[in-house]
Structure 1
Amino acid sequence: MYWNRRGVLVARKRWSELDERTRRLIVAASVVEGILKLAALIDIARRPAAEIRGSKRRWATAVTLLNSAGAVPIAYFLAGRRQPGTHS
């Protein structure tokens, strides 16, 4: 049980209680997030530290541990990488 946005105590649904569409959306979102995380981790491992803004270890930890609906891997790809040759 948990409190929803309106302050009402509601019971969580079990997987078997979800409709087929909702289950498919959850599975699809999980697959997309997994692919994004894997791609980001591979890029972090292969890219030289000079081409990453911040610590490679911190980016890898954030990508791995934060459940973010894909936001952390996307943030890494948009803001965490430097173009080769630019070290500002």
Structure 2
Amino acid sequence: MTPAFRPAADVGVTVSRDGATVYVARLPAGPILVLDGAGAVIWAEATEGPADGWIDRVADAFDVPASGIAADALAFVHSLCGDGLLDEADAVRAT
């Protein structure tokens, strides 16, 4: 199983015990980004589950159609990529 995205090499990630909050920071200087609600669900599905269907799993978590959230979910993870917090899994394997 390969996730769609992975934390970048210099990124630390901590997830709360209940999985509702994700703390992400570029190490060693930060700043710390706190993801909760939809952000935490998107992070988890994009980085922990198989790449195939991660947007569908996010949609299922909120009982909404995937077509209604796909653009926003992709924009969110691409923003995290742009901030140096995530890498696309294929890009990581290629290096």
Under a length normalisation based on structure 1, what TM-score does the superposition of the two structures give?
A: 0.28
Higher strand share: 2
Relative contact order, CA 8 A, sep 6+: which one is greater? 2
- Which structure is larger by alpha-carbon Rg, 1 or 2? 1
Under a length normalisation based on structure 2, what TM-score does the superposition of the two structures give?
A: 0.27
Higher helix share: 1
